[in-house]
Amino acid sequence: MCQSILQSTAFFSFLLGIDQDLAREAGAAGCRGCGGRLLQACYPRKPRGAQCPLGPAYRQRFSFCCATCRRRTTPCSVRFLGRRVYLGVVMTLACALRAGVSLRRAGVLTASLQVPLRTLQRWRRWWLEDFVKTPFWRGQRALFMPPVEECSLPESLRSRFQAEGDWEHWPRLLRFLTPLTSRTANTFVGGR
């Protein structure tokens, strides 16, 4: 089932490829402040939640620094959905599975995903209380017809991206959410 994507090296390589594309675009665009040339200045990360070996590129969130004015440019990411340690896919998957799951089964779930129950509850609160208030979601929700049931986020959103029996909707969903990982909408980062 869904959880096996966390064991798929191919899946994580695919997400890395998307992040590399996003970084290439951002790097080529130059500094938003002065138009200067951007130099690579990645942030260190210690991603958790994957159940397969991740290459050294996963220990970095791609970012740039302007050669002239030193201003930071951090492109969106499908791997790091704001949280510093847990991969975005883990955060979304865990909450999606949590919806409607009993507390006892949630315990089994958190053990297999190696996410503490408290963290899971915090994420869930973020989806139900903070995500729904983001300018991003307020702008996007009208595009879904019928409307996404906000009380069962993120599962209700995830299911809209799901094609019959494949995993390919995960990158699509994560890519849809990337505006939340940019600096202007970093409520994901703040939602502790």
Of the candidate spans 24-32, 89-97, 106-114, 151-159, the one that interacts with Zn ion by CB under 5 A turns out to be 24-32
Record the tokens describing residue 155, joined without a space.
């599962």
Query: 131-152 burial by CB neighbour count: b if 16+ within 10 A, else e?
Result: beebebbeeeeeeeeeebeeee
For Zn ion, which is the closer residue by CB, 23 or 66?
66
For Zn ion, which is the closer residue by CB, 47 or 75?
75
DSSP 3-state of 173: helix
Closest by CA position to 88, among listed 158, 138, 135: 158
Using the rule CB under 5 A, is 85 a contact of Zn ion? Answer: no
Using the rule CB under 5 A, is 72 a contact of Zn ion? Answer: no
Using the rule CB under 5 A, is 27 a contact of Zn ion? Answer: no
List beta partners, residue 73. Answer: 64
Q: Which of 10, 69, 101, 111 binds Zn ion (CB under 5 A)?
A: 69
For Zn ion, which is the closer residue by CB, 35 or 135?
35
The residue whose two tokens read 């492109």 is 75
Using the rule CB under 5 A, is 30 a contact of Zn ion? Answer: no
Using the rule CB under 5 A, is 94 a contact of Zn ion? Answer: no
Q: How far is the CB of 64 from Zn ion (least distance, A)?
A: 10
Q: Which of 7, 9, 40, 68 binds Zn ion (CB under 5 A)?
A: 68
DSSP 99-157: TT--HHHHHHHHHHHT--HHHHHHHHHIIIIIGGGSHHHHHHGGGSSSPP-GGGTTHHH
Binding-site ranges for Zn ion (CB under 5 A): 31, 33-34, 36, 66, 68-69, 71
